[in-house]
Amino acid sequence: MDPSRYNQDYLPIDVEALQEAVSRRLIYRIGKDPFTANDWDWYRALSFAVRDRLIERWMETQRSYYRKDIKRVYYLSLEFLIGRTLTNSMLNMGFMDSCDAALQRLGLDLERLREEEPDAALGNGGLGRLAACLLDSMATLDLPGTGYGIRYEYGMFRQKIEDGRQIEVPDNWLSRGNPWEFPRPEVVYPIRFGGHVAVGKRHDGSRYVFHWMPDEEVLAMAYDTPIPGYHTDTVNNLRLWSARATEEFDLQCFNQGQYIKAVEGKALSENISKVLYPEDSSSENQKLRLRQQYFFVSASLQDILRRFQSNHDDLRELPDKVTIQLNDTHPAIAIPELMRLLLDERELEWQAAWEITVRTFSYTNHTLLPEALETWPVGLFSQMLPRHMQLIYEINRRFMLQVSHAYPGDGDILRRMSIIGEEGGKRIRMAHLAIVGSHAVNGVSALHTHLLKSSTFADFERYFPGRIKNVTNGITPRRWLNQANPGLALLINEAIGDGWVKDLERLQELREFADDPAFIERFADVKMNRKIRFAAYARRHYGQLLDPHTMYDVQVKRIHEYKRQLLNLMRTITHYRRMRGGNARELMPRTVLIGGKAAPGYWRAKQIIRLIHDVADVIDNDPQVEGRLKLLFLPNYDVSSAAEIIPAANLSQQISTAGMEASGTGNMKLALNGALTIGTMDGANIEIHDRVGADNIFTFGLSADEVANLKHAGYRPREWAERDEELKAVVEMIRDGYFSPEEPDRYRNLGEDLLNQDPFMVLADYRAYMEADERVNRLYAEPAEWHRRALINTAMMGYFSSDRTIDEYARKIWRVKPRR
Ligand code: IMP
């Protein structure tokens, strides 16, 4: 890349300069010389050299936001699943090749140093990774975006497998330091909890005033991580908060010689930012979780108002200069918190404060699953945040009044729309709070938004027409193609140039190559190379031998019943059974790869992991199927291993029960890298289907409407099994201990639950899935045609760039413009 594009004052990025920078950082920053330095030292020296070049652009970007007094976006998210930063920074800043050459001169191997970096795994799955992709796109599009979240000391647990069972190991990712963050000890805000609210009159007697008298205070301290855009000087900020005790010691206890007690308070306060909750698609009603939410929301809002007020006097202008996106309801306490800051601390009137609040916030809904819709018990909430509880009651009182005017005499609608739910004790419905307190609410795929409007939030759609919008999720092509699959990136560059990295729709130009057999062959070679590379990875990391000449059939995502890893497993058992019965001559050799973490308290998901291992054991030890069928569980699926698995996949399993997966983003990553999808008409699969065309995707099964109708009519899974001998046999093999002979009852309840309840309709979709799998099989037998269709998938995925997602947010919801 052309260095002259950069401001002349910036540090040089040619090979000599980088070589010198790395050597100097090793000595002056790490305190080592090349004789004693190990890979970790070199990794850090390199990271500091790269970081120096980030931070100067970061500063200039931030200054330009102030200079231009530009409207800013704040993305509040309890999760940011970023993964590794080194390669991403070098590629985005355009000096990866120079760094590589500089390291070679120093006798170092970049590939090896990269492996030293731990993943920043501050998220569970799709929601957290989306936040990371959106940050990349905001910076790339020169939009003034800042992420706010928590600097968890322990991120997502590492998954180990012992005897087929998931063991959770703490992810102590900061133990050796983190070169990508800048601690900001001067940026600290007090966060208060508990106590009570005193009511008084303003000195002129004109109105009531409320004084929150908290009984606990914790400090939030900022850590900044620069987020560079791709081939632009824009470097945005991710600000993560860490909890600090206000006092190191309780001096009174200390002086009395009670040393342990003297530091107990400190430990308790600092627990707030200790660990990420490992729950995906279910809500966790723990006190500490609520403390985390308020902690990061309050610190972020104080910071946002401080920044705004440093150059604006009139708070009524806030929505013209600030827009705040709530990533799910986890940060929805921001709504009463901003009201509190405006009413109690800035003395605005209710109406003015409420207008500012609603115009400032927007909310992204990520799920329709009832168990994932957050609610908090009023009792717990009042204890921890008494003033916020009052404010929520007042917000709700005014809202209910308006609703009752709109629907006179309809008590039922008040009960349905209320922010306070009365079923099973009084609880705050955070989604209702977020909808009422935001000017825009969005779903994350066309189907998901349709379902939000027509069922879950139908009352709100009617009452606030137009408030609910769709913004289909996307993924960043920088990380998920350019960086993860350099071989494919190079091939694409040769064919159509590299404009696609910033404008993914340009991949459509690849379509004409679908009729060029020589190009298809090269495309197929890239895939084969990645399969070979993954086989080597599997050998190194899992001690497993894979055959790259088999089809890599991949399902990687959190383990959840609605994602139906069980359906995949039943298909694999069916293949196994057919082979044993001599009825599978036509089956193309397969390697079925399943990876993902289960929430530690999600017993059924953990049981499914164990069953996958038990089935894999039986298959592995059966010489009759050797070389034709292999099942492997990939432990500890994370962002870094995703970048190895995804480019190697031939087939992408996206088989959730229709209506349950809000979007999925793994589906996009796999298709972009030339895997064909087998999937239900769910989430963004539908939009993938519409773009790649029905011939280039294998869809099957019940639609969301059909799932709802079948449930309504009374679904009796046992009857489905009775009607289908093969299905019945497969369920019985699981239930009766075929895969667990040493403990025949291990999966009895799982099998019985399938036959009796099967809430995710595995049995109902089984036959259609097997038929779709046969279509997969037939096509895979024609490699040229398979790869042609895979290329069309890559070519047609432009829509799923997170740049398009961000562009839609910017225009439809945020109304922000690029800084240049
Ligand atoms: P913050 O956004 O206020 O946290 O500041 C981030 C960075 O913006 C600082 O490190 C400065 O580089 C820059 N900055 C802060 N205040 C100003 C200002 O008033 N004018 C121009 N730049 C500023």
For ligand 1, atom 22, the nearest C-alpha belongs to: 63
Give the per-residue pLDDT at 352: 98
Angle between helical axes of 603-620 and 565-580 (0-180°, round to 10): 20
Q: Strands 551-556 and 440-443, how do they pair?
A: unpaired
255 CA → ligand 1 middle, Å? 43
Give the CB-side neighbour count of residue 98, counting CA atoms within 13 A.
23
- What is the token pair recorded at 427? 């609880």
Give the per-residue pLDDT at 1: 44
* Contacts of the segment 56-63: beta carbons below 8 A, 24+ positions apart: 56/9, 56/10, 56/11, 57/10, 57/93, 57/226, 57/228, 57/233, 57/234, 57/235, 58/226, 58/235, 58/236, 58/237, 60/7, 60/233, 61/233, 61/234, 61/235, 61/236, 61/819, 62/237
The CA distance from 360 to 175, in Å, is 38
Backbone angles phi, psi at 201, to 5 degrees: -110, 150
CB-CB neighbours of 594 under 10 Å: 24
- What is the token pair recorded at 4? 């002259």
Are the C-beta atoms of residues 627 and 591 closer than 8 Å to each other? no
Residue with tokens 């699959």: 485
The CA distance from 473 to 313, in Å, is 37
Q: Is residue 66 lining ligand 1, measured as CB closer than 6 Å?
A: yes
Pocket test for ligand 1, best of 54, 56, 57, 63 (most atoms within 8 A of CB): 63
Closest CA relative to residue 552, chosen from 566, 541, 538, 562: 538
DSSP assignment of 343-388: IIIS---HHHHHHHHHHHEEEE-----GGGS-EEEHHHHHHH-HHH
60 CA → ligand 1 middle, Å? 9
Compute mean pLDDT per 10 residues along the chain, 820 residues long, and list them.
55 96 97 96 98 96 97 98 97 96 97 97 97 98 98 98 98 97 98 97 87 97 98 98 90 83 85 94 89 98 98 97 98 98 96 98 95 94 98 98 97 97 94 98 98 97 98 98 98 98 98 98 98 98 97 98 98 97 89 98 98 98 96 98 98 98 98 98 98 98 98 98 98 98 98 98 98 98 98 98 98 96
Pocket test for ligand 1, best of 62, 72, 240, 301 (most atoms within 8 A of CB): 62
b/e burial code for range 662-687 (CB count within 10 A of at least 16 → b):
bbbbbbbbbbbbbbbbbbbbbbbbbb
Give the per-residue pLDDT at 297: 98
The CA distance from 79 to 63, in Å, is 27
56 CA → ligand 1 middle, Å? 13
Length of the chain: 820
389 sits in which H/E element: helix 386-406
Active site residue 557: yes
- What is the token pair recorded at 591? 């390697």
Give the per-residue pLDDT at 177: 96
- For 404, residues 6+ apart whose C-beta sits below 8 A from its C-beta are 410, 414
Q: What is the DSSP letter of 422?
A: -
The CA distance from 6 to 18, in Å, is 16
For ligand 1, atom 6, the nearest C-alpha belongs to: 62
Are the C-beta atoms of residues 98 and 15 closer than 8 Å to each other? yes
Closest CA relative to residue 459, chosen from 428, 436, 439: 436
User: Cα–Cα–Cα angle for 128, 241, 224, nearest 5°?
Assistant: 85
For ligand 1, atom 7, the nearest C-alpha belongs to: 62
For ligand 1, atom 12, the nearest C-alpha belongs to: 59
- What is the token pair recorded at 71? 């409207």
Pocket test for ligand 1, best of 54, 61, 64, 66 (most atoms within 8 A of CB): 66
* Contacts of the segment 113-117: beta carbons below 8 A, 24+ positions apart: 113/39, 113/42, 113/43, 113/46, 113/86, 114/43, 114/84, 114/86, 114/87, 115/39, 116/39, 116/40, 116/43, 117/43, 117/47, 117/84, 117/85, 117/86
Active site residue 266: no
Active site residue 677: no
Q: Is residue 59 lining ligand 1, measured as CB closer than 6 Å?
A: yes
Query: Does the global pTM surpass 0.95?
Result: yes
Of 453, 558, 735, 787, catalytic: 558
Residue with tokens 């087939």: 651
The CA distance from 730 to 248, in Å, is 61
Are the C-beta atoms of residues 723 and 765 closer than 8 Å to each other? no
Q: What is the DSSP letter of 652?
A: E
91 CA → ligand 1 middle, Å? 26
Of 151, 669, 691, 787, catalytic: 669
Q: Is residue 63 lining ligand 1, measured as CB closer than 6 Å?
A: yes
Give the per-residue pLDDT at 8: 53
Q: What is the DSSP letter of 173?
A: T
Active site residue 321: no
Give the CB-side neighbour count of residue 740, counting CA atoms within 13 A.
22
Closest CA relative to residue 640, chosen from 40, 77, 81: 81
The CA distance from 512 to 497, in Å, is 14
Are the C-beta atoms of residues 618 and 606 closer than 8 Å to each other? no
The CA distance from 148 to 297, in Å, is 8
53 CA → ligand 1 middle, Å? 18
- For 115, residues 6+ apart whose C-beta sits below 8 A from its C-beta are 39
61 CA → ligand 1 middle, Å? 9
Residue with tokens 């921890």: 384
DSSP assignment of 190-236: EEEE--EEEEEE-TTSSSEEEEEE-SEEEEEEEEEEEEEPTTSS-EE
Amino acid found at 564: R
Q: Is residue 72 lining ligand 1, measured as CB closer than 6 Å?
A: no
CB-CB neighbours of 446 under 10 Å: 16
Closest CA relative to residue 58, chosen from 93, 25, 22, 13: 93
For ligand 1, atom 1, the nearest C-alpha belongs to: 307
Are the C-beta atoms of residues 619 and 576 closer than 8 Å to each other? yes
H helices present in 115-161, as ranges: 126-140
The CA distance from 45 to 30, in Å, is 7
For ligand 1, atom 23, the nearest C-alpha belongs to: 63
Helix, strand and coil in the chain, % to nearest 5: 55, 15, 30
